[in-house]
Amino acid sequence: MHNVIGHDWAVHWLRQTLVSNQVRHAYCILGPANVGKMTLALGFARALLCTAPDAAARPCESCAACHKTAGGFHPDLRMIAPAADASAIGVELIRDSVVREAALSPLMGQRKVFIIEQMHLATPAAANALLKTLEEPPAAVVILLLSERREALLPTIVSRCQVVSLRPLAQETIEQHLRAQHGLLPVQAALLARLSNGRLGYAKLLAADRAALEQRSQQLDDLAGLLAASRVERLAYAANLAAHGDQVAPTLHTWQSWWRDVWLYQQGAGGRAINVDRAADLAELARRVPLAQARASLQMTVRTAQWLEGNVNVRLALDVLLLRLPHVSPN
């Protein structure tokens, strides 16, 4: 688990379970998107499948099992995730890839490891199918469930797992990694560390993908324009954004960070702002928008993002949000 950054407590605890031979049959790794759940799960899986005689040294990175897990073709490691064109994990996928496979003996080592991504997307039937395996787990099987939303998981599933909750990393940890491993200048690393909100995976994505930064810049420009726009223009923007469903959540996330920063500036805590590259704009908006309106805009944006995780009318939700934003005339 050498490549896990920042979650030292989780690495130490999982390693101790391996050394003391107290590995549980199922673990539920929780945390925000891109916080490091998959990195930790893969590191633990490699340690579980490693054949080095010293458990404390696993994964050894040199045995045949380590080479196979690193290459993604270890026969006893199965990765399960919803298909790219699917919005849920169906019962057939769980039955074929987990339930039936778990009943078979390991092909290479002493264990079989299953990693199920985005477990919160499992249908009720899929969750119940998995539950049967968790209730009577085969001795050689370890199941790792990854999820961003504990509340969306069946309580009976969570109760049968050892829960590992990953917290966002310290900004300094992410900055140091970006400077050391990605060659970023201090000012660049500081900006991406703040934008990542403690999620190293997202910071690395921003560092490698200029388009993601440009998209965030456009989202902020759009919000500035909307504050000065008419009701008709706001509704037209809502219709266009709703038509591009994959852009809704990222846009609202960026807007949340902006209103949070405005509110921080109004509280005299601008040093904690995320969008530090737009400090002048933040200070100006904090001066022109009443405190109550800034707080209400933040709360409404957060609430809208939460509503959109459920079965709501996206266009209607965006209409309501945009019509309730304050009007700020151009300078």
Tell me the CATH number at 299.
1.20.272.10
Specify whether 40 is located in the same domain as 108: yes
Instruction: Answer whether residue 3 shows pLDDT above 90.
Output: no
Q: How many domains does the chain have?
A: 2
Q: Decide if pLDDT at 331 tops 80.
A: no
Q: Angle of helix 314-324 relative to helix 291-307, nearest 10 degrees?
A: 180
**144-150 mean pLDDT:** 94
The residue among 165, 199, 223 that closes a domain is 165
- Angle 239-242-245 from CA coordinates, rounded to 5°: 160
* Cα–Cα distance measured from residue 157 to residue 145, given in angstroms and rounded to the nearest whole number: 10
Query: Which residue has 């400077």 as its token pair?
Result: 179
Residue 149 lies in a domain: yes
Q: Which two structure tokens, joined as six digits, stand for 210?
A: 């200029």
Residue whose entry in the numeric block shows the structure tokens 């050689």: 140
- Residue 68's pLDDT band, with cuts at 50, 70 and 90, is very high
* 198 within domain boundaries: no
Percentage of residues in the chain having pLDDT higher than 90: 83
Confidence (pLDDT) at 212: 87
Q: How many CA atoms lie within 13 A of 229 on its CB side?
A: 19
Mean pLDDT of the chain: 93
The answer as to whether 224 is a domain residue is yes
What lies within 8 Å, CB to CB, of 231 at 6+ separation is 323
Span 257-278, mean pLDDT?
Answer: 94
Q: Answer yes or no: do 18 and 159 share one domain.
A: yes
CB atoms within 10 A of CB 210: 9
- 159 and 19 fall within a common domain: yes
CATH number at residue 72: 3.40.50.300
108 shares its domain with 230: no
If asked whether residues 48 and 155 sit together in one domain, one would say yes
Residue 153 within a domain: yes
Mean pLDDT on 181-192:
91
Q: Does any domain span residue 36?
A: yes
CA 37, 40, 44, 49 torsion: positive or negative?
positive
263 and 157 belong to one structural domain: no
What is the tens place of the pLDDT at every residue in 152-174?
999 999 999 999 999 999 999 99
* Residue 224 belongs to domain spanning: 209-324
Q: Angle 318-89-1 (CA atoms, 0-180°, nearest 5)?
A: 100
- Region of 289 (left: φ > 0; alpha: ψ -120 to 50; beta: rest) is beta
pTM equals 0.84
User: Do 260 and 239 touch, CB atoms closer than 8 A?
Assistant: no
157 and 14 both lie in a single domain: yes
- pLDDT attached to residue 39: 94
Instruction: Please identify, among 134, 165, 196, the residue that sits at the C-terminal boundary of a domain.
Output: 165
Q: Do 12 and 158 belong to one domain?
A: yes
- Find the length of the chain: 331
- Residue 235 shares a structural domain with residue 314: yes
The rounded distance, in Å, linking the Cα atoms of 235 and 253 is: 19
Q: Is residue 81 part of a domain?
A: yes
The alpha carbon of 217 is separated from its chain's Cα centroid by a whole number of angstroms, namely 21
Given 132, 165, 198, the domain boundary residue is 165
Domain annotation covers residue 177 = no
> Could you give the CA distance from residue 285 to residue 305 in angstroms, rounded to a whole number?
23
Which two tokens mark 49?
């499948």
Shared domain check, 134 and 257? no
Backbone Cα Rg of the chain: 23
Cis peptide, bond prior to residue 138, ω within 30 of zero: no
Instruction: Find the DSSP H helices in the chain.
Output: 8-19, 37-49, 64-71, 91-94, 100-102, 124-135, 155-159, 171-182, 186-196, 200-208, 210-227, 231-243, 248-266, 279-288, 291-307, 314-324
Tell me, yes or no, whether 216 lies in a domain.
yes
Q: Which residues pair with 146 in a beta bridge?
A: 29
pLDDT tens per residue, range 72-120: 899 999 999 988 777 789 999 999 999 999 999 999 889 999 999 999 9
Do 23 and 159 fall within a single domain? yes
SS3 state of residue 294: helix
**Residues 154, 300: one domain?**
no
Give the single-character DSSP code of 169. Answer: P
305-319: pLDDT as tens digits: 989 877 789 999 999
Tell me the C-alpha distance between 92 and 123, whole Å: 10
Contact 243, 256 (CB under 8 A): no
Could you tell me the two tokens for 275? 């969008």
Q: What pLDDT score was predicted for residue 194? A: 92
